[in-house]
A and B are shown apart, each in its own frame.
Chain A
Amino acid sequence: MAHPLLADTPGQTHLLLGNEAIVRGAVEAGLQVATCYPGTPSSEVPDTLFRLSPDGKYTFEYSVNEKVALEVAGGATLSGAMTLCTMKHVGVNVAADPLMTLCYTGTPGGLVLLSADDPGCHSSQNEQDNRYYARIAGMPVLEPATAQEAKDMTRDGLLLSKKHGAPFLLRTTTRVNHLRGSVEFGPVTEPGTPEGFKRNPSKFVPIPAFSRPMHVALLERLEALRAEAETSPYNTVTGSGTIGVACSGISRAYVADALAASGLGDTVRVLELGFSNPLPETMCLDFLKSVSKLLVVEELEPILENDLRVLAQKNGLSLEIMGKGTLPANNEFNVTMVENAIRELAGAPAAAVETCPAAELPMRPPNLCAGCPHRGTYFAAKKVFGDDAVYSSDIGCYTLGILPPLQAADFLLCMGSSISAGCGAARAAGQTVVAFIGDSTFFHSGLTGVANAVFNQHDILIVVLDNRTTAMTGHQPNPSVDRTILGENDSPLSIEAAVRGLGVTEVREVNPFNQKKTLAAFEELKELSGVRVLIAKEPCPLFTRRVYKKTAPQVAYVADSCAGRFDCLDKLACPAMYKSGGKAAVNPILCNGCMLCLQICGHIKAKKRGS
């Protein structure tokens, strides 16, 4: 029996995660090709597509980075395939180059780009608002607020994209990706076979002579899409009264709940834009004329607000428009915050919310897991280099090495920057730099950094933290993995062969749980200059358990001879260890049997698991 997300069962209702609803919407549209680079909060879209791929009628790939993902998707849609490409917001920075041109060439088979933005930085380095990308590139934008809309907008985005030959931006925020709500299914379209590429150089090859008319065609497409937005079911005006609220994205949900809570529902007209770019100007102008005062509710940047201010100015309207200033341009909103902004608009007093005070409590920061191989690598690196080196970090679980006691992350820009920014830091003032980069991040954008380092004769020690999977985002495959949830990787790439191929001659490989060998490798590489690579190779213990179905046969325990020096706790900060009655102790359930602690203290021993 087909998985519910793939089955043609119109009318059925399921409780779905926003990201699962996106998958269903794509399946209903007749998805043919899907590409991605995983990243929170987008990851459950590709992970679901991957898990269902043996039964799905689409082809799917985890691409090595977002630029590649969008290029593969671009080639697919140019060849007539209905295509979905998914990434987190900062991934669109990586994919920005092909994105700009795809808006010129158009997307004959249809293309939806999912950009999962992260207001509040739940799991990201910034709060950038990717609705701006749509304005730079010239893209229509759909912004769902519910699971049902996540499904419907993905489907309609793909269908409209194919109809107009324009790529669509499906712009979500963390709350939408990770909400669950009821979704009523529509019929599934049989994907069939893509038509194949049809040669048309003036349309698809942006040499300057062709680019100029391509830009004209893009502007014309945007006007046709503006007409679609004018009649889109995702754009509505409701309510009555002389004051107005305009909103888009998840803010629409906050506005709905705030109006219900405030009892002001009957006095406010609400403009909701789910299809928010190009702006449906006629609809918006009618709305602006119908109210004397307006509040624009949108998280992050004042994009809709500025659109409406321009429209009002062009049409000589003098209504008061409130937006940023009343509501913040950073972080997420919530219902009470929006309710109070609406109350301010209506001249009503703020809502009385009685809260309980926050307590001073020990924090619970995320930490490297028990048995995480990165702990062994960091411990050895710090032992050899101490505070004399600058530690250039990168994006993955291993960024958690920033925390004490390991403190092995001094600066970080973006995926792959550990190597190239590390080179810059080393060259600027001659400081020793150790760069840490994970295996997936290495293939994402470390390769070019290595090539640059070799070419420009930089002086850097690059440590590839090779845990055989993409751990942080949920164990997605990358080019060097041996195995995935669906089976063996038939053609794994070798990190060692890759760096040697790029011209690095000083390459060592160690298991970081072998501290003696790891320390020796660091000592040896410390004495050398130029580009040096240490590959610290050992699988993520969670991945080992889930995919290799293996558990270490032994666990650590602290012998009665423990003198209570607590070096093990203070230096390793392993979550399986704790202080108990003046001695250190190991929780045998949490211990993953890495035996790193045995190598730093003679009072810690190994025993058979369960004994």
Chain B
Amino acid sequence: MNDVKPIRIFMTGVGGQGTLTATTLLAKTVLASGLPVTSGEIHGMAQRGGVVESTVLIGCKSPKIGHGEADILMGFEPMETVRALPYLKRGGLVLSSTEFMPPLSVAMGKQECPTMDEVRERIAACTDKAYYMASQTIGIEAGAVQSGNIALLGALCATGALPFGPEALEATIKANLPAKIQAVNLKALAMGVAALEA
């Protein structure tokens, strides 16, 4: 286990977004690539619109990521990306959705979400390696809003930050997702890769 360079990926999103499905797919991809993987998730409140945080760790024994330990931060919602920044190593890689899912206090008009410019600014203060995409919109275009997570995962694989590329994720989707939702997710993956390269 010690000869594999550790990579810690912190993922965050909102309950009901499919964050945990994306986490498991990535963990399965790591395993299928012959690398030691541990993944962690905190749920229980996941159904109720709360924050859902999960982890995928390559070459580590622990499933947890502490502050300043993540090499990669995947934010499926931009405000949650910012909230999770303390977990990121300074200079680490960020991939974030640009589409807000306002919490109740914002929907009720009691508080305001930061603007996307503020989000970019905050992230830029931590790292210059950040990619953004409208992943929910990509998901809807691919055929299901939840597949937007796969677009972001596809983009992550295409950055070269992981020891495998998008084709490994493609193989995991084909091997693990039910046939009827495979096409949508494969399309989302391709769109995510394309969005990164655009």
Residue contact B109 to A335, C-beta cutoff 8 Å: no
A179, A337, A356, A397: the one contacting B40 at CB < 8 Å is: A179
Q: How far is the CA of A182 from the CA of B36 in the complex (A)?
A: 8
Residue of B90, B106, B109 with most partner-chain A CB within 10 A: B109
Residues of B6-54 at the interface with A, using a CB-CB cut-off of 8 Å, are: 6, 14-15, 24, 27-28, 31, 36-45, 47-51
Interface residue? B198 (CB, 8 A): no
Give the complex CA separation of A257 and B36 in angstroms.
Answer: 13
Please give me the residue from chain B that is nearest to A40 by CB atom.
Answer: B44
| Residues of A close to B31: CB separation below 8 A | 13, 15, 182
Interface string of A175-196 (1 = CB under 8 A from B): 1001111100000000000000
Residue B143, interface by CB 8 Å: no
Q: How far is the CB of B25 from chain A (nearest CB, A)?
A: 10
Q: Does B85 contact A (CB under 8 A)?
A: yes
Query: Least Cβ distance of A182 to chain B in Å?
Result: 6
> Which residues does chain A contribute within 8 Å of B88, judged by CB atoms?
355-356
- Alpha-carbon distance between A257 and B60 when the two chains are bound, in angstroms: 6
CB distance from A335 to the nearest CB of B (A): 6
Question: Interface residue tally of chain B, by bracket?
Answer: 35 or more
- Asked whether B68 lies within 8 Å of A336 as measured between CB atoms, the reply is yes
Q: How far is the CA of A472 from the CA of B44 in the complex (A)?
A: 7
Q: Of A123, A359, A362, A542, which one neighbours B85 at CB under 8 angstroms?
A: A359
The interface on chain A, measured as residues whose beta carbon lies within 8 A of the other chain's beta carbons, has a size of 58
Residues of A within 8 A of B95 (CB): none
Q: Are A181 and B44 in contact (CB under 8 A)?
A: no
Q: Does B61 make an interface contact (CB < 8 A)?
A: yes
Partner of A359, one of B62, B83, B89, B102: B83
Chain B residues whose CB sits within 8 angstroms of the CB of A579 once the complex forms: 107-109
A405, closest chain B residue (CB): B108
Q: Which residues of A contact B111 (CB under 8 A)?
A: 362
Are A335 and B64 interface neighbours, CB within 8 A? yes
Task: Give the complex CA separation of A397 and B44 in angstroms.
Answer: 10
Tell which of A253, A355, A400, A573 touches B61, judged by Cβ atoms closer than 8 Å.
A253
**A89: min CB distance to chain B, Å:** 14
Query: Is B90's CB under 8 angstroms from A354's CB?
Result: yes
Partner of B107, one of A355, A363, A577: A577
Cβ contact within 8 Å between A366 and B50: yes
| Cα separation A122 to B114 with both chains bound (whole Å) | 27
Residue of A at shortest CB range from B118? Answer: A359
Interface hub of A252, A367, A566 (most chain B Cβ within 10 A): A367
Say if the beta carbon of A361 comes within 8 Å of chain B. Answer: yes
Q: How far is the CB of B32 from chain A (nearest CB, A)?
A: 9
A residues with a Cβ closer than 8 A to B are 13, 15, 40-41, 122-123, 145-147, 174-175, 178-182, 250, 252-254, 256-257, 260-261, 332, 334-337, 353-359, 361-369, 397, 400, 472-473, 542, 566, 569-570, 573, 575, 577-579
**Given A355-B90, A573-B108, 13 additional A-B pairs, CB 8 A:** A13-B31, A41-B44, A147-B38, A180-B24, A182-B31, A332-B64, A337-B66, A353-B67, A356-B85, A362-B113, A364-B14, A366-B49, A575-B49
